[in-house]
Amino acid sequence: MLPGIPAMPGSESRKAKISIIKDVGGIIKPGRMTLLLGPPGCGKTSFLKALSGILSKSLKVTGEISYNGHKLDKFIPQKTSAYISQYDLHIPEMTVRETLDFSARCQGVGSREGEYPL
């Protein structure tokens, strides 16, 4: 608002507080495919983005996000995880495992020797 100029009724900024994710927990074992299911808009993408460290800075995070027992701000998630959008372009000749491995290598996340033979 400008000083000396009255605000118009209804022009006040109001931001609604909406909980996107609440009380989520689980175990994802290394080397295994894990399926995350839920209805549209339930927070699946936000959850995965939070775990991979690419959650929008405009969102306010309350509570704790941890990965392998470490708080999210104590490690670099990009070194241990990757988020691949459902709209990513991929090479159709590759299997799902090959696509994930390729994406990880492109982002600098290496797999252990022989862990995922192609």
The string of pLDDT tens digits covering residues 60-80 is 777 777 777 777 777 676 666
User: Tens of pLDDT along 87-104?
Assistant: 666 788 988 888 878 877
For the stretch 58-76, what's the b/e string if a residue is b when 16 or more beta carbons lie within 10 angstroms of its beta carbon? eeeeeeebebeeeebeeee
Taking the whole predicted model, whether its pTM rises above 0.75 is answered as no
